[in-house]
Amino acid sequence: MAVPQNKKSKMKSRKRRTHYTAISPTLSTCPNCGNFTVPHTACPACGRYRDRKLFEIKVAKTDEKA
């Protein structure tokens, strides 16, 4: 089994990991409702994609008893 001859320095390890960053997803606005959506997907708020209604949004009823 291969064993390193010397310890890798912190700078060497950190330089190697410079491209391990988290990127934020690309978002676009829905032309129907204005909410942010991922491109090329149906809007989760209104259920439309390219001016077509793909699915109905069900609104959950909340029972407020106080």
Tens-binned pLDDT, residue by residue, of the chain (66 aa)? 899 899 999 999 999 999 888 888 899 999 989 999 999 999 988 989 988 888 888 877 776 765
* Alpha helices (runs of H) in the chain, residue ranges in sequence order: 10-16
The pLDDT of residue 66: 58
Query: From CA 54, how far away is CA 32, in angstroms rounded?
Result: 13
Return the H-helix or E-strand segment holding 49: strand 48-49
- Name the residue type at position 66: A
